[in-house]
Chains A and B, each alone.
Chain A
Amino acid sequence: MDATPKPKKFIGAGHSTSHDSAARHVAGSATYIDDIREPEGTVHLAPGYAAKAACGRIAKCDLQAVRNYPGVVTVLTAADIPGVNDCSPGAGDDPVLAQTHITFHGQPIFCVVAETRLAARRAARLAIIEIEAEKPNVTVEDALAANKDVLPSYQFKRGDAAKAIADAPHQITDSFRIGGQEHFYLEGQIALAIPRENGEMLIHSSTQHPSEVQHVVAHMLGVADAAITCECRRMGGGFGGKESQAGQWAALAALATYKTGRAAKLRLDRDDDMIMTGKRHDFRVDWQAGFDASGRIQAVDTQLLSRCGVSADLSQGVNDRTMFHSDNGYFYPELSIFSRRLHTNTVSNTAFRGFGGPQGMVFAERMMEAIAIQTGLDPLDVRKRNYYTKGRDVTPYGQKVVDNILPEITAELERTSDYRKRAKAIKTFNDQSPILKKGIALTPVKFGISFTLASLNQAGALVHVYTDGSVQVNHGGTEMGQGLYTKVAQIVASEFGIPLEDVRITATTTDKVPNTSPTAASAGADLNGMAASRAAITIRDRLGEHAAKLWDVLPKQIRFEEGQVKAARKSMSFAALAKSAQLARIQLSATGFYATPDIHWDRAKAHGSPFFYFAYGAACSQVTIDTLTGEMTVDRVDILHDVGKSLNPAIDLGQIEGGFVQGMGWLTTEELVYDAQGKLRTHAPSTYKIPCASDVPSDFRTKLWKSDGNKSPTIFRSKAVGEPPVMLAISVYCAILRAVGSLNPAKLPPLDAPATPEMILRACRAMES
């Protein structure tokens, strides 16, 4: 046996290292909530709903057969709720269980509590429910006709857009649709409630927002927040779908525990998950633009009509962000950006990676393509001509763009992707190929980083140093696969100059770091990384002072590096210093707190600087379509993306590739179909198509932009990376548009998203007529 211990590696921030759970993921030993050993007597839950109706008064709800089913312990209804029957993120309009009326198909009315999951699910189907069914509003048109909104409309304005468009040399008027998207996190919604003494409860919830789950559960039970602890070690994917949507299932599990005194687990069946939880907002966009012969925009007038579902949920922030990003990287001298948040009798739409931004950007990019078609210019030239530049650098909401690198990123990608040569070759190919047509598009992304609800831009962390030199870090951010825990651990290791393996990451829990923001808006590492860094620096400063006293040097002479603490010719191990400090009665634990500086937003005036900075990127995609079937393949993708100074290049590349493919699915194959009765017909992976390995181009080239670092003082000058890459996939939509457009170069293809084969074929046919 070799007794020599393995040398420890110093992998601080800025280096690629594998995901903190990678070794457990490949062993199958990483514990998700469904893998936690259940406490003896754990009961299992299954929600029940009216199978046949979407909205109306509940005329009858006979649960006798459900209660009598073998294995059923009890059945929860709204009457069992001791506190407030609400799981909304704030508006108070999302009942945990419907009581008198249902408003959408699949809305839970009761919840079975049984000895086994199977028994609960079987019993749930035995309820006799009668609804005085009303005609549901399902589509944008239904909602417009009913004139129903979940939230007031909102508008950005500059100048007189209508007049400027009329006065412009060229005009376009268009209307198109952008579909929604199911999150399809591989781990479905799940919560496990465990009773503790004195009415307290521990909730394991697969949530991006443990503080909200804690609050929702406490509110629903009518107990103090302090009585409830919510913990989440990891999620099997989130993508926004576990920001507000996790609360309901945690509340039901907690209610079962409250009523039975037993641990209670609710894991939604996949179909139920898809039917009962919110999705990305879908839109109809009606727009007009005026521009000159060079393709330069003079004015834009757009109406963004979104289906929000039955309640407010996060629709204000989502639709605001659609507006914030309907300029993408382009300057609109005069503009009207108008947003309606329509009420439909469908499950309430919610956060989804990009949070409304992608829909705004699809509009901007379709407009670029439309201008190119009308002017006969290459779309890339139209894009460049409209980029923000000095003097033309104020966004529709008043923020000055001061960190723009789109011209540089675009130029490099244009060169490395060989855009011009390939565009020419494609023209030749299309001229000679009667059935197969190709298209290429290079599109940019500019994405604002910060929550647009300013109060959410804060984070806390808790760092402990133990006397053997090992470190525990905890923060308010949650791990959903994006590598946040790894990045924060790297940051802490860097601050202490110790090996990464000496930093132990602990589960996010509301009893360590309270009152947290959701892990969302791509801001997880920006906020929590900074908070953890501050906590670590607080301890490091104390240790440094102590060492300075020991060695009679100045604190600023002390260096923490490679597991050692050094000053002049003195050195000792980090562990030895920690031990020494503890004996000297110096606190080795600290909290850290961070609130993003320099952001302000006056929503009433629609003016301010809501974003700390922008993240940039660009993608070039090439596709081939079959004009007889509408089938489409993506041939090649080149991506150049800006992450500032990367905290972990391997993790960032993974975010970029994964985000792109998720965006590609949204815009090509992922079609949500609601029927006229308001029932979601695509509620399983056999009917809802997310990309698989054979849908992704083998020629997939992803590069990080060589950055001097974020101009804004973020953690180690990095940039957020979670959401922006989704929008790189708009290049695929535009490439399809180009391919279809080749059939008739003078006409804008009537191509909605998702561009499914049938949609592409229909657009092709429309070009011929």
Chain B
Amino acid sequence: MSKITVSATVNGDAADFVCDATETLLDVLRDRLGLTGAKEGCGTGDCGACSVILNDRLVCACLVLGAEAQGAKIETVEGLANGETLHPLQRKFIEHAALQCGVCTPGFLVAAKSLIDHNPDPTEEQVRYWLAGNLCRCTGYDKIVRAVLDAAAEMREANHAA
């Protein structure tokens, strides 16, 4: 079985790597690229802890083969902040105390970013259903939903002002 060479863009930077055909995108991100923000919570696409954005679409990195990332644009939690400046979602998650143990947090942030990318003005119900694929066992979700709505509102205002 031969190794596969893949060229992709990860968080805006070119990323070339080799992987086995069996490796998932999550394996590649964590073990080959050292990006450990995405976690394996279940390995079957049911918990959302490995959420990343692949070509502008939210996916579970544990259910995408690394080889499928050829030529793709990948966004992970590590790319959310702009240098020292946190993304509004990151700031609001901290402000609203929308995290506890933190394992699900990167997945929620990436999923929420994907939502706001496509729908800058989501309703509360849309947020709840969009995030239904991301499991959190600590917070009870209310603070997460508030944080996402608050971040979306702030981003709309910023866009409006700009």
Contacts and interface: CB of A to CB of B under 8 A. Distances in A.
B105 to A, nearest CB: 4
Interface residues of B, number: 56
Interface stretch (B66-74, B133-141, B153-161): B133-141
A429 interface: no
A613 B159 CA distance: 52
A698 interface: yes
A26 interface: yes
Given A26-B94, A234-B101, A270 B44 contact: yes
Contact of A696 (B39, B106, B142): B142
Interface string B28-45: 001000011111111110
A394 interface: no
Contacts of A483: 100
A433 to B, nearest CB: 23
A693 B141 contact: yes
B39 A22 contact: no
Contacts of B134: 692-693
Contacts of B89: 26
B103 A32 contact: yes
Nearest to B23: A118
* Interface of chain B: mostly helix, strand, loop or mixed: loop
B90 interface: yes
* Interface of chain A: mostly helix, strand, loop or mixed: loop
Contact of A34 (B39, B106, B109, B139): B39
Contacts of B99: 19, 22, 25-26, 481
A235 B143 contact: no
B55 interface: no
A702 B143 CA distance: 11
A657 B42 contact: no
A685 B47 contact: yes
Given A653-B97, A685-B42, A236 B102 contact: yes
Interface stretch (A103-111, A182-190, A332-340): A182-190
A602 interface: no
Among B39, B95, B129, the most chain A Cβ lie within 10 Å of the Cβ of B39
Given A28-B78, A34-B39, A658 B102 contact: no
B125 to A, nearest CB: 8
Contacts of B38: 28
A658 B100 contact: yes
B103 A186 contact: yes
Contacts of B139: 654, 657-658, 661
Nearest to B106: A28
Contacts of A27: 37, 77-78, 80-81, 90
B143 A269 contact: no
10 residue pairs, one from A and one from B, having the closest CB atoms: A28-B37, A481-B101, A661-B140, A236-B103, A25-B102, A481-B100, A28-B77, A657-B140, A685-B46, A26-B90
25 contacts: A19-B99, A19-B102, A26-B86, A26-B89, A28-B106, A29-B78, A30-B102, A34-B40, A187-B101, A234-B101, A236-B101, A480-B101, A651-B97, A653-B97, A654-B100, A654-B143, A684-B44, A684-B46, A685-B47, A690-B135, A691-B140, A693-B127, A696-B140, A696-B141, A700-B140
